[in-house]
Amino acid sequence: MGKRIHRFSVGGIEGAVVEILEPDTHDLNRSLPEDQQRPGDATVTYTWHFWYLCQAGRHILVDAGYYAQEAAEALRELGVSPDAVELVLITHGDGDHVVGLRHEDGGPTFPNAHYVLSQDLWNFWTDEEALAARYESPEHRAIIHDIREILRDRCDLYPETAKLPGDIHLAPCPGHREGHVTYRVPTSAESLWFIGDAIFDPVFMEHPEWPDRSDNDPERAAESRRALLAEAAEAGALLFTGHIPFPGAGRVETADNGYRWMPIAAAEDA
């Protein structure tokens, strides 16, 4: 496991990006369309993140990482008990975003939390045939079963765009995985957008029309990405991404036929 923490304060909201796992490398050509393959070494760095927010005294997580212990330790470094987490916003169901919701014994990492996710993700999680088709490992399916039971009576499901308490907006962003959504959190200064795995690398900002072959539905994901980037550039939103190198946060501006990524620097490593 690896952990770094980038703290931020924006418009009355205190927050942190938490890096989980160790940084890794990825061959970008595995994701690029065949007619856009890059010659030579196309290696890029991937990191993995989840996010903590304190909004008007409420302790909120966006996703929960891969290890319950790591998530809990990161919160304690931030001065927050896992028992104090009130709300967990789930972008999608990949393991590096949700396995941290459960301890190894199957119990909840955040026993007092309420959860938000899309109706489409819940439908996938409760379709045993679909789970078996995606996950060959019975152990992996058992983890999903545990998470499902943790959430069953403590979650709100949304089939479409919705406004949540605290003026947080849930916005569907289909194509990457079942029920993939983003969350937009207002502040007095600017809007914070937590976009999950909508964009894995800045090359897909420079060329938002390119399909990413790692997505479930690359063409639909590209449509979602184009719409998201256009809105984010117009709004001047601060984006938080799941895998762009730590802290994976920045803004976009229009450039040529695509967008330019302007990352923020890591303010603190812990």
Q: How many residues does the chain have?
A: 270
What integer pLDDT is reported at residue 268 of this predicted model?
45
Is it true that the peptide bond before 247 is cis, omega within 30 degrees of 0? yes
DSSP 239: E
Residue 105 has pLDDT above 80, yes or no: yes
Q: How much is the CA Rg of the chain, to the nearest whole Å?
A: 18
pLDDT, tens digit, for every residue of 152-198?
999 999 999 999 999 999 999 999 999 999 999 999 999 999 999 99
Backbone angles phi, psi at 241, to 5 degrees: -110, 155
pTM of this structure:
0.95
- Is the CB of residue 38 less than 8 Å from the CB of residue 31? no
Mapped onto helix, strand or coil, the DSSP state of residue 224 is helix
Query: Residues with Cβ < 8 Å from 35, sequence gap 6 or more?
Result: none
Mapped onto helix, strand or coil, the DSSP state of residue 98 is helix
DSSP 78: T
pLDDT, tens digit, for every residue of 121-131?
999 999 999 99
- Is the CB of residue 183 less than 8 Å from the CB of residue 91? yes
Q: How confident is the model at residue 2 (pLDDT cuts 50, 70, 90)?
A: low
- Is the CB of residue 266 less than 8 Å from the CB of residue 8? no
pLDDT, tens digit, for every residue of 57-93?
999 999 999 999 999 999 999 999 999 999 999 999 9
Report d(CA 204, CA 66) in Å as an integer: 25
Portion of the chain with pLDDT greater than 70, in percent? 97
Q: Which of 20, 9, 6, 51 lies closest to 183, judged by CA?
A: 51
Does domain 4-30+43-263 fall into CATH 3.40.980.10? Answer: no
Report d(CA 175, CA 224) in Å as an integer: 7
What are the boundaries of each domain within the chain? 4-30+43-263
Mapped onto helix, strand or coil, the DSSP state of residue 182 is strand
